[in-house]
Amino acid sequence: MKKVFGIWDGHDSGVAVVEGEKILYASNEERFSRQKLEVGFPYLSFEDALACCGEPDEIVISTTDPSKVLTRIFPCLGKNYYLFRRHRIAPSRFDSAKSWFKSFATQLPPMAGCAALTRFIIRRRTGFEKISVRTIDHHEAHLRSAFFTSPFSSATVISLDGIGDACSGAVAVGTEGKMELITGISGRDSIALLYEEATRLLNLRELEDEGKVMALAAHADLGEDERSVLDEVIEISDLNGISVKVNRNAYRRLKECLWRRGPERFAAMVQRMTERAVIALVKAAVKMTGITNVAVAGGLFSNVRINRLLREKLFEDKLSDIWVFPNMGDGGLALGAALDEQISIQPFLGAEIDCDRAVAIARERGLNVRNTSLEKAAERIAKGESIGWVNGRMEYGPRALGARSILARPDDRTIRDRLNLAQKKRVFFQPFCPTLTHLEAERSLLNYDGRDERWMTSLYGTNAGGSKRLEGVIGPDGSCRPQILSKTPETLEEKVFLELVLEVEKKIGIGGVLNTSFNIHGDPIVRTESDAIDAFLRSGLSSLVIGGKIEIIRNDD
Q: pLDDT digit string (tens) for 334-358? A: 999 999 999 999 999 998 999 999 9
Q: What is residue 105's predicted lDDT score, i.e. its pLDDT? A: 83
**Pairing mode, strands 512-517 and 460-461:** unpaired
Work out the mean pLDDT of the chain and round it to a whole number. Answer: 94
Q: Are residues 131 and 148 in the same domain?
A: no
Q: Are residues 158 and 209 in the same domain?
A: yes
Q: Which domain holds residue 175?
A: 140-329
Give the model confidence (pLDDT) of 147-204 as tens digits: 999 999 999 999 999 999 999 999 999 999 999 999 999 999 999 999 999 999 999 9
For residue 386, being part of any structural domain is answered with yes
For residue 381, being part of any structural domain is answered with yes
Q: Are residues 59 and 163 in the same domain?
A: no
Question: Comparing C-alpha atoms, which of 194, 546, 221 is closest to residue 405?
Answer: 546
DSSP state of 129: T
Can you tell me the mean pLDDT for 447-459?
Answer: 94
For residue 484, being part of any structural domain is answered with yes
Q: Are residues 362 and 508 in the same domain?
A: yes
CA distance 500 to 483: 14
**92-101, 165-174, 229-238: range with lowest mean pLDDT:** 92-101
CATH number, residue 242: 3.30.420.40
Q: Are residues 164 and 86 in the same domain?
A: no
Contacting residues for 186 by C-beta, under 8 A, at least 6 apart: 166, 167, 168, 244
**Amino acid identity at 35:** Q
CATH number, residue 93: 3.30.420
Q: Are residues 103 and 191 in the same domain?
A: no
CA distance 75 to 83: 12
Q: What is residue 389's predicted lDDT score, i.e. its pLDDT? A: 98
Q: Are residues 388 and 531 in the same domain?
A: yes
Alpha helices in 8-166 (DSSP H): 30-33, 43-53, 66-73, 75-85, 95-106, 114-126, 138-148
Q: What is residue 97's predicted lDDT score, i.e. its pLDDT? A: 81
Backbone angles phi, psi at 174, to 5 degrees: -110, 125
For residue 344, being part of any structural domain is answered with no
**Residue that is last in its domain, among 136, 166, 193:** 136
CA distance 68 to 347: 29
pLDDT tier, 317 (very low <50, low <70, confident <90, very high otherwise): low
Long-range contact list for 68-76, CB < 8 A, 24+ apart?
A: 68/10, 68/164, 69/114, 69/117, 69/118, 70/105, 71/10, 72/9, 72/41, 72/117, 72/118, 72/121, 73/117, 73/121, 75/40, 75/41
Q: What is residue 250's predicted lDDT score, i.e. its pLDDT? A: 96
Residue 500 pLDDT > 90: yes
**Residue that is last in its domain, among 118, 136, 154:** 136
Residue 540 pLDDT > 90: no
Identify the three-state secondary structure at position 13. Answer: coil
CA distances from 513 to 218, 394, 456 (A): 22, 19, 14
Identify the three-state secondary structure at position 147. Answer: helix
Q: Which helix (H) or strand (E) holds 351?
A: strand 348-352
Q: Are residues 377 and 233 in the same domain?
A: no
Angle at 274 between CA 273 and CA 275, to 5 degrees: 95
CB atoms within 10 A of CB 13: 27
Q: Do 412 and 384 contact (CB within 8 A), yes or no? A: yes
Give the global pTM: 0.95
Print burial letters for 236-270: b (CB count within 10 Å at least 16), e (below 16).
beeeeebbbebeeebbebbeebbeebebbbbbbbb
For residue 343, being part of any structural domain is answered with no
For residue 530, being part of any structural domain is answered with yes
Question: Comparing C-alpha atoms, which of 151, 150, 147 is closest to residue 174?
Answer: 147
CA distances from 83 to 11, 87, 90, 102, 205 (A): 11, 6, 9, 14, 10
Please give the tally of structural domains in the chain.
Answer: 3
For residue 544, being part of any structural domain is answered with yes
Residue 13 pLDDT > 80: yes
**Amino acid identity at 365:** R
Q: How many CA atoms lie within 13 A of 514 on its CB side?
A: 31
Residue 108 pLDDT > 80: yes
Q: Are residues 126 and 144 in the same domain?
A: no
For residue 338, being part of any structural domain is answered with no
Backbone angles phi, psi at 132, to 5 degrees: -70, 125
Give the model confidence (pLDDT) of 120-153 as tens digits: 999 999 999 999 999 999 999 999 999 999 999 9
Q: What is residue 395's predicted lDDT score, i.e. its pLDDT? A: 96
- The per-residue DSSP string of 360-422 comes to HHHHHTT-EEEE--HHHHHHHHHTT--EEEE-SEEESSSS--SSEEEEE-SS-HHHHHHIIII
CATH number, residue 403: 3.90.870.20
Residue 263 pLDDT > 90: yes
Q: Are residues 128 and 151 in the same domain?
A: no
Q: Do you know the residue count of the chain? A: 557
Q: Are residues 111 and 180 in the same domain?
A: no
**222-236, 287-301, 311-325, 386-400: range with lowest mean pLDDT:** 311-325
- Report CA 58 to chain centroid distance, whole Å: 27
Q: Are residues 376 and 491 in the same domain?
A: yes
CB atoms within 10 A of CB 511: 25
CA distance 28 to 42: 8
Share of the chain above pLDDT 90, in %: 84
Q: Say what the alpha-carbon torsion angle 315, 319, 320, 321 is, to the nearest 10 degrees.
A: 80
Q: What is residue 325's predicted lDDT score, i.e. its pLDDT? A: 98
Q: What is residue 556's predicted lDDT score, i.e. its pLDDT? A: 64
pLDDT tier, 361 (very low <50, low <70, confident <90, very high otherwise): very high
**Residue that is last in its domain, among 329, 360, 388:** 329
Q: What is residue 557's predicted lDDT score, i.e. its pLDDT? A: 59
Residue 516 pLDDT > 80: yes
